[in-house]
Amino acid sequence: MSITFTPQQVASMIEAVAVEGVRTDPIQGIAALAEASADDLSFLGNLKYSAEVATSRAGVILVPLEFVGVPQTNQVFLRVAKPSFALALICSVLEAKLWPKPPAGVHASAVVAPSAVVDPSAHIGPLCVVGENTIIAAGVTLEARCQIGTHAKVGPDSWLKPGVLIGDYCVLGARCRIQPGAIIGSDGFGYEPIDGTIHRIPQIGTVVLEDDVEVGANTTIDRARFSRTVIGRGTKIDNLVQIAHNVRIGRQCLITAQVGIAGSTTLGDHCVLGGQAGVAGHLTLGDRVKLGAQAGLFEDVLADGFVNGTPAMPFGLERRLVVLSRRLPDLFKKVDSLAASLDSPKS
């Protein structure tokens, strides 16, 4: 990756609160504090790494407002409220340069149904398929091999990466971003055993992604058995996540990799689920609930709850039990020794 920005351009880009130091040479890369060269930009995202700033060779360093220190010769400090977010702003500019939006138009190899409505500003890439009565809104990008089912809708400025599948009747809001291989609107896992035979239950509902939802690679969101599976505005879903039929996820939630959420469960707003957490069906999680990594949840959690472990329990209690469990071998030895002393014949 090659970039060229002057310190002044970077300061303007991130609206730095203060600029300290003097440097005329541009920066040409981004690197960690310990690895940066004189031509790199770096950042102090966590104050525990403050000591590395004094020895870093980075030409420009993003530092928090409370950081105590001065830049070296030919080095500039840009003071910002949140260095990590400021770096994200810079990377968003770089992303647009590295992966520019494809030009509007429909590729010759794409198949677009006659009844589909495709905005002239949208990009339909190679080998895409757009179904009957589907709406592709302004500014949408469908990269190669995307398939959009019948009667579906993809909202303005949404960007679908290669190999994404959007099922029939599903709806994506504005500015949704879907990573490669994700499937929105596959059948929910609905079956009914009757007299020893497992019967399929048709899944006739839809999936609705509200505005600004992002979905990771190879994640699956199942259509509802009836009504809707809903992902709330601004929620971000990582790779390899399974969200079952009729699940409702609130706004601004974070669902990390390999999470599984069973059917008809409801999450409130601003929930955070750690990697590989599993949530049973028909549960309710209140606003701002947190699940630790690999937690197994089998009961409702009230708002602001923080649970961990399997079965999931309040985080503080689960941590204490983990500490106590590590003492069990010594405890058993003491019990065995006590039992032996009691069983031994008295003199």
In the three-class reduction of DSSP (H, G, I as helix; E, B as strand; rest coil), residue 106 is classed as strand
Return the active site residues.
245
**Are the beta carbons of 39 and 29 closer than 8 angstroms?**
yes
Q: What is the DSSP string of 271-332?
A: -EE-TT-EE-TT-EE-TT-EE-TT-EE-S-B-TT-EEETTTTEEHHHHHHHHHHHTTHHHHH
**pLDDT tens digit sequence for 106-123:** 999 999 999 999 999 999
Beta bridge partners of 80: 64
Q: What angle do CA 40, 45, 50 make, to 5 degrees?
A: 85
pLDDT digits (tens, 9 = 90+) for 234-273: 999 999 999 999 999 999 999 999 999 999 999 999 999 9
- How far from the centroid of its chain's Cα atoms is residue 198's Cα? 35
Average per-residue pLDDT in the chain?
95
Express each pLDDT in 184-239 by its tens digit. 999 999 999 999 999 999 999 999 999 999 999 999 999 999 999 999 999 999 99
Question: At 117, which helix (H) or strand (E)?
Answer: strand 117-118
Domains and CATH numbers, the chain: 7-98 (3.40.1390.10), 105-319 (2.160.10.10)
Overall pTM surpassing 0.95 (yes/no): no
